[in-house]
Amino acid sequence: MEPTMYSIEPLDLPLLSLESCLEIMREFATNHGFFDYLWVPHIWIHQLLLDTGGLPRALEYLFTEFFGENFTNVKEFFDKLVNKKLIPLTIYTNVSKNIDTAYKIKSYVRDHKLLAYELVDRNIMEIESDISDELQDGDHYRKLEHLERDKHLILRKSEAKDKVLIDIPYFFMYLYSDVLGVFTENLNKAFLRDSDWSWENWEIFIADFIASYITMIDALNKNKLLKLKDFFRGARGNNITLNLSINFEPVKIYKLNHQFPCLDLSAKEGETAMLKPGYMMINGYSAPFADIFFLVHEPEPILIAIQCRLRKNPLNLKTIGDEHKKNVNVSSKAKEKARKLKNDAKIASSEEGKKLQKEAERYTQLADFLSKYRIITIFVTTQRFNEELERIPKDCILIHQENFDTFFGPVFSSRTKFVMTRDSNPNLSTASQLASRYEAIKQDVAERIEKTRKRKIFRSHDEFLKEFPELVGDDEIRNNFVYYPYPPHIEPFEHSNKRTRV
C-beta separation of 399 from 416 below 8 A: no
Task: Write phi, then psi, for 231 (nearest 5 degrees).
Answer: -80, -50
3-state secondary structure (DSSP) of residue 237 = strand
- Quote the pLDDT of residue 478: 92
Could you give the CA distance from residue 265 to residue 262 in angstroms, rounded to a whole number? Answer: 7
Q: Cβ atoms within 10 A of the Cβ of 487, count? A: 12
Nearest to 411 by CA among 49, 212, 167: 167
Could you give the CA distance from residue 451 to residue 458 in angstroms, rounded to a whole number? Answer: 13
Element (H, E) at 398: strand 396-399
Could you give the CA distance from residue 205 to residue 97 in angstroms, rounded to a whole number? Answer: 24
DSSP H stretches of helix in 329-438: 330-347, 350-370, 404-420, 431-437
Could you give the CA distance from residue 43 to residue 484 in angstroms, rounded to a whole number? Answer: 11
Beta strand pairing status for 252-255 and 236-237?
Answer: unpaired
3-state secondary structure (DSSP) of residue 179 = helix
Could you give the CA distance from residue 404 to residue 399 in angstroms, rounded to a whole number? Answer: 7
Q: What is the pLDDT along the chain (502 residues), one digit of tens a residue?
A: 555 666 666 555 668 888 999 999 999 999 999 999 999 988 889 989 988 988 899 999 999 999 999 999 999 999 999 998 988 888 988 999 999 999 899 999 999 998 998 898 888 878 888 888 888 888 888 888 888 776 667 787 777 678 888 888 888 888 988 898 877 766 766 655 555 556 567 888 899 999 988 988 888 878 888 999 999 998 999 999 999 999 999 999 999 999 999 999 999 888 999 999 999 999 998 899 999 999 999 889 999 999 998 766 678 899 999 999 999 999 999 999 999 999 998 888 888 989 999 999 999 999 999 999 999 999 998 777 888 899 999 999 999 888 887 888 777 777 777 767 778 899 988 898 899 889 999 999 999 999 998 888 999 999 999 999 999 999 989 988 989 888 888 877 775 544 333 2
C-beta separation of 129 from 165 below 8 A: yes
- Quote the pLDDT of residue 495: 58
Task: Write phi, then psi, for 445 (nearest 5 degrees).
Answer: -70, -40
Cross-strand pairs, 396:
377
C-beta separation of 305 from 289 below 8 A: yes
Could you give the CA distance from residue 206 to residue 183 in angstroms, rounded to a whole number? Answer: 12
What's the predicted TM-score (pTM) here?
A: 0.83
Determine if residue 221 is left, alpha or beta; phi over 0 gives left, psi from -120 to 50 gives alpha, anything else beta: left
Q: One-letter amino acid identity for 70? A: N
Q: What is the DSSP string of 242-299?
A: HT-EEE----EEEEBSSPSS-S--BBTTS-B--SSTTEEEEPPTT-SS-SEEEEE-SS
- Quote the pLDDT of residue 499: 36
- Quote the pLDDT of residue 17: 87
Residue 419 CB partners (closer than 8 Å, separation 6+): 191, 197, 202, 310, 382
Could you give the CA distance from residue 233 to residue 405 in angstroms, rounded to a whole number? Answer: 9
Q: What is the DSSP string of 92-150?
A: HHHHHHHHHHHH-HHHHHHH-HHHHHHHHHHHHTT--B-TT-EEEETTEEEEHHHHHHH
Q: Cβ atoms within 10 A of the Cβ of 72, count? A: 9
3-state secondary structure (DSSP) of residue 396 = strand
C-beta separation of 401 from 413 below 8 A: no
Query: Within the chain, what is the greatest distance between any pair of CA atoms?
Result: 103
C-beta separation of 438 from 450 below 8 A: no
- Quote the pLDDT of residue 244: 95
Task: Write phi, then psi, for 57 (nearest 5 degrees).
Answer: -65, -40
- CB-count burial class (<10 Å; 0-12, 13-18, 19+) for 146: exposed
Could you give the CA distance from residue 441 to residue 466 in angstroms, rounded to a whole number? Answer: 16
**Measured between alpha carbons, how far apart are the two ends of the chain, in Å?**
25
What single-letter DSSP state applies at residue 16?
P
CA 433 to chain centre: 20
Determine if residue 68 is left, alpha or beta; phi over 0 gives left, psi from -120 to 50 gives alpha, anything else beta: left
